[in-house]
Amino acid sequence: GAVVSQHPSWVICKSGTSVKIECRSLDFQATTMFWYRQFPKQSLMLMATSNEGSKATYEQGVEKDKFLINHASLTLSTLTVTSAHPEDSSFYICSARSSTGTRAAYEQYFGPGTRLTVT
């Protein structure tokens, strides 16, 4: 079964509004979570890396004031797209790495993704 969940799976919002996407690791603790964006027929582009209890590290070219990331606990990270515009429409995928437990240390688990459409 799924080990990382995302909510919502899809969302449509109006231009100028904000949208929050949740990512949860279900059966392991994730000290590090990653947020990716994927446009149709393209690869996954890393947006930011978040560590529990500290500020996220954003990749070059990603606006940190627009894409707010919070990693408040070992099982939850949120991505908020603020003042969304049509060009923000994309498939957003989170990923989590297990820090301890039975999961292999090298494995990185992905959520099912959230399809955001901004009208």
Partner 1 sequence: AQKITQTQPGMFVQEKEAVTLDCTYDTSDPSYGLFWYKQPSSGEMIFLIYQGSYDQQNATEGRYSLNFQKARKSANLVISASQLGDSAMYFCAMRNNQGGKLIFGQGTELSVKP
For 88, the 3-state DSSP assignment is helix
- According to DSSP, residue 55 is labeled -
Residues of this chain that bind partner 1 (CB under 8 A) = 32, 34, 38, 42-46, 49, 91, 93, 95, 97, 104, 106-110, 112-113, 115
| Cβ at position 63, least distance to partner 1 in Å | 19
Choice between 82 and 99, CB closer to partner 1: 99
Cα gap 8→20, rounded to integer Å: 9
Phi, psi of 86 (to 5 degrees): -55, -30
| Cβ at position 61, least distance to partner 1 in Å | 15
| Cβ at position 112, least distance to partner 1 in Å | 5
Choice between 38 and 70, CB closer to partner 1: 38
For 87, the 3-state DSSP assignment is helix
What the block records as the tokens of 53 is: 């209890």
| Cβ at position 32, least distance to partner 1 in Å | 6
Radius of gyration of the chain (CA): 14
